[in-house]
């Protein structure tokens, strides 16, 4: 029930388990080569990142109530900047107030622009202090609308017979959305396109090198890509389902010109919603209909299986519109967290993994490799490395070596160990007493709403104890 999976004392032991599970995760064992692959500069559009390591976008849920960065936000990015990864992917930032995922999510608008500029400035300063330059640092801002996960009201891209049953109008009272709950109108989506364009314009004015139009994790951009049953101009065929993102990108390109980097974090496999099996504490799929016209990147006849046909078509569209950087992700953190971030232990009340986490890591690497091989000219950032702890470096270097990805992206691992990139390049190895153990306290904090501002900030309580240790204690005594 509470099985621990990660038990490897050596690379050989990990290799052995990979073989036993019949997986094909490559690992680079030579330290010099490992450092050379991870240290390889990457040309991204008109910019160059000084090495092949990226920090994934990660919300701290710690902005001010109006969506400006607060002290913990500055602290997080200064730590990342000092850590040495050369692609800093700034977290999900809402483009409209009603599309925020929590009351402390960052929000980009005219009023908040200066504070985001200050965040970027302090981040660069921190990098400059350690490395003497920021000329090889690439900073991208993730733009989002949280769709069905917006607060206070869910804003739906489509009706979804499985997810709707667990989409709450009032979580405290356990009230889910009613049968006649509306989806967002075509008119709303059309004007939202312009809000994304305006946000991109502000991001460029502030000094970001590019923006990511977020298309993953069940948020609006991702939900629309899978909205096969939505009527009207934004649903049904793939051309309609991709209309939102293609319109946004075409308008940004038309307004901001080719020097501004266009990126997207793309969920290439939604899978289906899971639930806790109370008898075993392990996750199991919720009942789903077949055929399953509700997800993106899934086989309609068996949505537990990926189908990359449409993700390939969407990537081709994005590329035609000038996107040069794609961050491959998958899953939905609310509905099937083991898909997006393979973990050892769930957040409290959630399910234990229904598969060996190495299978999830392999799925990330495999799907990313397929897409990278299909689009070798695009810079792809891979996900799913943190569960491997210090062996992440061996996997990242090997995936880069084999042309399966261009950059290794680190999420939770960077909250726990922001200096991972510096240590990778100077020592070729990570200090195992600092690596993320995927015990999911960060997600626990993210889900806690009993804070006076309606949301607890998140970070890494085990390895960034000073700040987040007390916050976990506080969250436990102020349960919402
Ligand atoms: C606390 C936390 C916040 C996150 N915020 C975002 C976000 O703002 N945007 C995003 O695309 N993904 C977000 N993610 C997902 C991560 O970027 C990443 O995809 C995931 O953690 C898996 O990578 P890892 O195994 O290296 O952690 C978040 C994850 C965590 C744990
Ligand atoms: S709380 Fe820290 S160690 Fe645990 S999963 Fe999150 S980042 Fe990793």
pLDDT in tens, 403-438: 999 999 999 999 999 999 999 999 999 999 999 999
Per-residue pLDDT at 172: 83
Confidence class for position 268, pLDDT limits 50, 70, 90: very high
User: What's the rounded mean pLDDT across residues 278-302?
Assistant: 97
Token reading at 4: 């621990």
Q: What is the mean pLDDT of residues 326-330?
A: 98
Q: How confident is the model over 55-70, as a mean pLDDT?
A: 98
Model confidence over 16-34: pLDDT tens digits? 999 999 999 999 999 999 9
What tens digit of pLDDT does each residue of 97-147 get?
Answer: 999 999 999 999 999 999 999 999 999 999 999 999 999 999 999 999 999
Contacts of 228 (CB under 8 A, 6+ apart): 158, 235, 236, 241, 293, 294
Q: Is residue 471 part of a domain?
A: no
Choice from 58, 94, 360 to test ligand 1 binding pocket (greatest atom count within 8 A of CB): 58
- Position 171 scores a pLDDT of 84
At 334 the pLDDT is 97
* Pairwise CA distance, residues 98 & 149, whole Å: 10
- Please, what is the average pLDDT of the chain? 97
Neighbour count for residue 44 (Cβ, 10 Å):
24
pLDDT at position 3 is 82
Which residues lie across from 327 on neighbouring strands?
Answer: 265, 381
pLDDT at res. 2? 66
Q: Whose CA is nearest to atom 3 of ligand 2?
A: 436
**What is the 3-state composition of the chain as percent helix, strand, coil, each rounded to the nearest 5?**
40, 15, 45
Task: Answer yes or no: is 280 within a domain.
Answer: yes
% residues pLDDT > 90 (the chain):
97
Choice from 80, 388, 430, 442 to test ligand 2 binding pocket (greatest atom count within 8 A of CB): 442
* Candidate of 384, 386, 415, 461 to mutate for ligand 2, largest count of ligand atoms within 8 Å of Cβ: 415
The set of protein residues with a Cβ atom below 6 angstroms from ligand 1 is: 56-59, 91-92, 142, 216-217, 265, 329, 340-341, 383-387, 410-413, 442-443, 446, 458
Question: How many residues in total does the chain contain?
Answer: 480
Res. 184: pLDDT tops 90: yes
Inside any domain, residue 462: no
Between the CA of 57 and the centroid of ligand 1 the distance, in Å, is 6
List, in order, residues 6 or more apart from 133 with CB less than 8 Å away: none
> Using 50, 70 and 90 to split pLDDT, how confident is the model at 442?
very high
The alpha carbon dihedral of 236, 182, 219, 338 has a sign of negative
∠ at Cα 330 (326, 331), nearest 5°?
155
Is residue 466 situated within a structural domain?
A: no
Nearest CA to ligand 2 atom 2: 460
What is the count of structural domains for the chain?
Answer: 1
CATH number of the domain encompassing residue 204: 3.20.20.70
Specify the residue with its C-alpha closest to ligand 2, atom 8. 436
Residue 476 has pLDDT above 70, yes or no: yes
Q: From the CA of 56, how far away is ligand 1's center (Å)?
A: 6
**Which range marks the domain in which residue 135 is found?**
11-436
Domain assignment present for 142: yes
pLDDT exceeds cutoff 80 at 1: no
pLDDT tens-digit series, residues 104-117 = 999 999 999 999 99
Q: How far is the CA of 433 from the centre of ligand 2 (A)?
A: 13
Ligand 2 nearest-atom number relative to CA 343 = 5
pLDDT score recorded for residue 480: 59
pLDDT in tens, 195-207: 999 999 999 999 9
What's the N-to-C CA distance of the chain in angstroms? Answer: 27
Predicted pLDDT at 478: 80
Considering only CA atoms, which residue is closest to atom 7 of ligand 2?
Answer: 412
Please, which residues bridge with residue 441 across strands? Answer: none
Q: For 388-409, b where at least 16 C-beta lie within 10 A, e where not — what string?
A: bbbbbbbbbbbbbbeebbbbbb
C-alpha 88 to ligand 1 mean position (Å): 13
The 10 Å Cβ neighbour count of residue 65 is: 12
At residue 51, does pLDDT exceed 70?
yes
Pocket of ligand 2 (CB under 6 A): 412, 415-416, 436-442, 460-463
Domain presence at residue 330: yes
Q: Which of 438, 445, 472 to mutate to test the pocket of ligand 2 (most atoms within 8 A of CB)?
A: 438
Q: Which ligand is nearest to the CA of 410?
A: 1
Query: Residue 76: is it exposed, middle or buried by C-beta count within 10 angstroms (0-12/13-18/19+)?
Result: buried
Q: Which atom of ligand 1 is nearest to the CA of 92?
A: 8
Ligand 2 centroid–CA 393 distance in Å is: 18
The answer to the question of residue 324 being in a domain is yes
3-class secondary structure, 271: coil
Calculate how far, in angstroms, residue 180's C-alpha sits from the geometric centre of ligand 1.
33
What's the pLDDT at 101?
98
pTM: 0.98
Q: Largest alpha-carbon pair distance within the chain?
A: 61
Domain for residue 59, yes or no? Answer: yes
Single out the residue of 91, 124, 55 nearest to residue 436, CA to CA. Answer: 55
For 391, which DSSP code? Answer: G
Cβ 102 vs Cβ 454: under 8 Å: yes
What pLDDT band is residue 257 in, cutting at 50, 70 and 90?
confident
Q: Ligand 2 pocket test: which of 462, 469, 471, 475 has the largest number of ligand atoms within 8 Å of its C-beta? A: 462
Per-residue confidence (pLDDT) for residue 269, from 0 to 100: 98
| Nearest CA, atom 6, ligand 2 | 442
Sign, Cα dihedral of 355, 360, 362, 367: positive
- CA 80 to CA 128: how far, in whole Å? 12
**What is the residue with the minimal CA distance to atom 3 of ligand 1?**
58
Q: Give the position, in ligand 2's atom list, of the atom nearest the Cα of 461.
A: 1
Distance 418 CA to ligand 1 centre (A): 14
The alpha carbon of 336 and the centre of ligand 2 are apart by a number of angstroms equal to 18
Residues near 188 by Cβ (< 8 Å), separated by ≥ 6? none
Please, which residues have CB within 8 angstroms of residue 342's CB and are 6 or more apart in sequence? 353, 357, 358, 360, 361, 364, 384, 387, 438
Work out the number of other CB atoms within 10 angstroms of the CB of residue 22.
8
For residue 122, the tally of other CB atoms under 10 A from its CB is 17
Q: Cα separation of 379 and 348, whole Å?
A: 36
Cα(273)–Cα(33) distance, rounded to whole angstroms? 40
Distance in Å, CA 294 to ligand 1 centroid: 23
Closest atom of ligand 1 to 440 CA is 31
């Amino acid at each position: 029930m509470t099985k621990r999976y990660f038990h490897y004392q050596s690379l050989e032991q990990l290799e052995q388990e990979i073989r036993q599970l019949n997986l094909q995760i490559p690992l680079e064992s030579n330290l010099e080569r490992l450092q050379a692959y991870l240290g390889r500069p990457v040309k991204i559009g008109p910019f160059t990142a000084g090495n092949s390591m990226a920090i994934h976008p990660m919300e701290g849920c710690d902005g001010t109530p109006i969506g400006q960065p607060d002290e913990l936000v500055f602290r997080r990015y200064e730590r990342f900047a000092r850590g040495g990864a050369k692609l800093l992917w700034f977290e999900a930032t809402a483009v409209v107030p009603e599309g925020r995922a929590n009351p402390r999510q960052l929000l980009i608008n005219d009023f908040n622009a200066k504070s985001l500029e200050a965040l970027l400035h302090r981040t660069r300063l921190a990098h400059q202090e350690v490395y003497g330059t920021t000329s090889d640092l690439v900073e991208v801002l993730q733009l989002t609308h949280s769709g069905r996960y917006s607060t206070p009201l869910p804003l739906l891209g489509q009706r979804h017979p499985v997810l709707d049953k667990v989409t709450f109008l009032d979580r405290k009272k356990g009230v889910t959305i009613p049968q006649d709950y509306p989806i967002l109108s075509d008119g709303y989506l059309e004007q939202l396109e312009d809000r994304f364009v305006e946000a991109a314009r502000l991001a460029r004015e502030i000094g970001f090198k590019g923006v990511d139009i977020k298309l993953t994790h069940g948020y609006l951009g991702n939900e629309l890509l899978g909205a096969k049953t939505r009527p009207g101009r934004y649903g049904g065929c793939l051309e309609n389902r991709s209309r939102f993102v293609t319109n946004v990108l075409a308008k940004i390109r038309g307004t901001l010109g080719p020097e501004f980097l266009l990126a997207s974090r793309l969920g290439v496999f939604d899978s289906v919603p899971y639930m806790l099996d109370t008898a075993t504490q392990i996750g199991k799929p919720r009942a789903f209909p077949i055929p399953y016209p509700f997800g993106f990147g899934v086989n309609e006849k068996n949505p537990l299986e990926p189908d990359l046909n449409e993700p390939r078509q969407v990537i081709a569209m994005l590329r035609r519109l000038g996107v040069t950087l794609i961050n491959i992700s998958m899953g939905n953190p609310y509905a099937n967290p083991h898909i997006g971030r393979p973990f050892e232990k769930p957040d409290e009340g959630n399910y234990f993994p229904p598969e060996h986490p190495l299978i999830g890591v392999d799925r990330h690497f495999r799907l990313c490799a397929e897409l990278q091989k299909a689009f070798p000219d695009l810079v792809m950032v891979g996900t799913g490395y943190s569960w491997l702890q210090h062996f992440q470096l061996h996997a990242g270097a090997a995936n880069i070596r084999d042309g399966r990805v261009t950059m290794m992206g680190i999420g939770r691992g960077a909250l726990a160990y922001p200096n991972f990139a510096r240590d990778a390049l100077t020592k070729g190895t990570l200090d195992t007493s600092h690596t993320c153990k995927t015990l999911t306290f960060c997600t626990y904090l993210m889900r806690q709403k009993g804070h006076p501002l309606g949301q607890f900030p998140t970070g890494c309580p085990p390895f960034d104890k000073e700040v987040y240790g007390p916050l976990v204690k506080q969250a436990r005594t102020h349960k919402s």
